[in-house]
Amino acid sequence: MVEQVKLAEHIIVVGAGIGGLTAALGLAKQGFTVVVLEQAPELSEVGAGLQLSPNAVKVLQAFGVADAIEPHCFTPQRACIRDHRSGRHYLDMPLGREMVKRYGAQYWHIHRADLHQELVRACQQHGVDIQLNQRVMGYRNEKDHVKVLLEKQTLRTDLLIGADGVHSQIRELMLGAQAPIFTGQVAWRGTVPIANIKGASVQPNATVWAGPHQHMVTYYLRGGEFVNFIAVEEQASWRYESWREEGDTEVLRSKFHGWHPEVTAVLDGCESTFLWALNGRPVLPTWHDDRVVLLGDACHPMLPFMAQGAAMAIEDAFVLSGTLEKYDYEYAFMKYEKLRKPRATAVQKQSRDNASLYHMHGGWQGRLKLEALGVASKYANGIIQSKLDSIYGHDVTALRL
């Protein structure tokens, strides 16, 4: 049994994104006094969707917010990988009830703004103080607290959590500046009102459209009111790291000219889009520095090819809040990193590997891999499903923390 010492009481979370708010909610429910510092002038999320697989939904259930989130969600019935021109299915596997049967929770699609709104509401109901226009300039670990240096004031807290995303200021303060590693891929994303989509019927599934050096993902949001898309193409270089740069819809449409009618119909109905470079970062040597710890994209940014970015941050939030509730911060941070780092690193690798599959790398060999996947999907679907067990079947709420 770990020797009990005085536990933290006051915690500052930097970043009011999905990971930061989930962590704040979990900590507040454990009885901590929590302040969230957000540098933006208002609470908002870019208009795009995300996928919540059963491993993430179980945390939301444990934190008591799943019932409030569910009305905003769309439940896809199947997950598909289809050919970019012919539309033939390389993979076609059930979601819906099969997810509940196999993993004990639903698979949901949700607009990021809707999830964000419900997390904000839940945090406020549990007394979390969310402060806007607060940019962290530095921190300093002291003997029994950490000082957080803002632009106009200095705050004192027991612990500091950096949940400030892929561009994390807390990570840079902890480990030094580090240039992102461009993966050679750029993603366009947006949401399209279903009324704008003409000449094709978009299937209500989680669909990956695989093509040479490109792919596109489509799925429904808000009860079928919108179709969300992410379109990825390979490029030799990119000068920005932002994911909020506005894109040219005509250029986007030209990139996917000649693709299946479901794809082109969605893009023809698109009125606005954002694009961003897909960047990675090396595995960090540590996730914590005395009284300061990192969470989510701040320590393990995810490529979107497993749809696990939000899910990993949500899992982090559960484990971190649970260890801090039981142990002094030094042991809690050590245990949190030990539990989460191998998991996050493995999912990062699976996400990178999927890029090669979706983009048919290797010419005919790439197509052969997709053909083999189709055969396995048709005659041995259990094999395909079992490969997802390590992702969707991982239940942090059942861990012995």
Lowest-confidence pick of 12-26, 185-199, 211-225, 343-357: 343-357
Per the domain annotation, does 161 fall within a domain?
yes
Neighbours of 260 (CB within 10 A): 20
SS3 category, 372: helix
Per the domain annotation, does 243 fall within a domain?
no
CATH number of the domain encompassing residue 286: 3.50.50.60
Per the domain annotation, does 50 fall within a domain?
yes
For 198-214, write each residue's pLDDT tens digit. 989 999 999 999 999 99
Per the domain annotation, does 93 fall within a domain?
yes
φ, ψ for residue 282 (rounded to 5)?
-60, 155
φ, ψ for residue 232 (rounded to 5)?
-115, 135
| DSSP summary character for residue 257 | T
> At CA 339, angle to CA 334 and CA 342, rounded to 5?
115
Per the domain annotation, does 341 fall within a domain?
yes
Quick one: the chain helix, strand, coil %, rounded to 5?
A: 40, 25, 35
For 227-279, write each residue's pLDDT tens digit. 999 999 988 766 555 545 788 999 999 999 999 999 999 999 999 998 888 88
- Cα-trace Rg, the chain: 21
On whether the CB atoms of residues 36 and 295 are closer than 8 A, the answer is no
Owning domain of residue 152: 10-179+281-394
Share of the chain above pLDDT 70, in %: 90
What mean pLDDT do residues 171-195 have? 91
pLDDT at 3: 41
Lowest-confidence pick of 45-59, 110-124, 328-342: 45-59
Neighbours of 95 (CB within 10 A): 22
pLDDT at 387: 74
The verdict on whether 379 is a catalytic residue reads no
Per the domain annotation, does 264 fall within a domain?
no
On whether the CB atoms of residues 170 and 14 are closer than 8 A, the answer is yes
Per the domain annotation, does 256 fall within a domain?
no
pTM: 0.93
Nearest to 146 by CA among 11, 49, 248: 11
SS3 category, 317: helix
Q: d(Cα 331, Cα 69) in Å, to the nearest integer?
A: 33
For 90-147, write each residue's pLDDT tens digit. 888 889 999 999 999 999 999 999 999 999 999 999 999 999 999 999 999 999 999 9
* Residue in 219, 220, 329, 358 annotated catalytic: 219
On whether the CB atoms of residues 312 and 228 are closer than 8 A, the answer is no
On whether the CB atoms of residues 131 and 35 are closer than 8 A, the answer is yes
Quick one: pLDDT band at residue 378, thresholds 50, 70, 90?
A: low
Nearest to 191 by CA among 219, 223, 225, 229: 229
Number of domains within the chain:
1
